[in-house]
């Protein structure tokens, strides 16, 4: 059966997962390569060793690498860990429940 008909039956456009790789890491900046990203994109870092996850934002882009500012401490992450595009972006629900509350950028009290 041709791949095109399999895709249409599955209802899926892409059958592969796109990811980049961390090449250098420090407490405030992570250098990665292998993804086509833009400044302001959010990415998901996944530790190969522990499976821990952390979000970050692309803060600088060069020809073959990009720089990520992590949103939390990155202890335990290392060179070789995976970087995935964050498909959901930064979605923050706004409503009456927020009135009078103090929250961080991730809606945590």
Dihedral sign of CA atoms 67, 58, 22, 52 in order: positive
For the chain, the structural domain boundaries read: 17-87
* 79 has a pLDDT exceeding 90: yes
Least confident of 16-30, 68-82, 88-102: 88-102
18-67 residue pLDDT tens: 899 999 999 999 999 999 999 999 999 999 999 999 999 999 999 999 99
Percent of the chain whose pLDDT exceeds 70: 85
CATH fold of 17-87: Thrombin, subunit H (2.40.10)
CB atoms within 10 A of CB 35: 18
Mean pLDDT of the chain: 86
CA gap 28, 99 in Å, rounded:
32
From the list 72, 76, 73, 67, the residue with the least C-alpha distance to 32 is 67
| Residues whose CB is less than 8 angstroms from the CB of residue 92 and which lie 6 or more positions away in sequence, other chains included | 105, 107
What's this model's pTM, rounded to 2 decimal places? 0.74
* 1 has a pLDDT exceeding 60: no
């Amino acid at each position: 059966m041709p791949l095109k008909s399999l895709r249409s039956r599955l209802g899926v456009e892409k059958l592969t997962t796109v990811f980049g790789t961390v090449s250098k890491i420090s407490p405030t900046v992570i250098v990665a390569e292998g993804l086509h990203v833009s400044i302001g994109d959010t990415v998901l870092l996944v530790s190969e060793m522990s499976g821990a996850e952390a979000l970050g934002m692309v803060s600088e882009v060069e020809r073959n690498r990009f720089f990520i500012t992590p949103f939390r401490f990155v202890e335990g992450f290392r060179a070789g860990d995976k970087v995935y595009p964050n498909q959901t972006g930064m979605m923050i629900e706004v409503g009456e429940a927020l009135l009078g509350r103090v929250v961080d950028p991730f809606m945590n009290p």
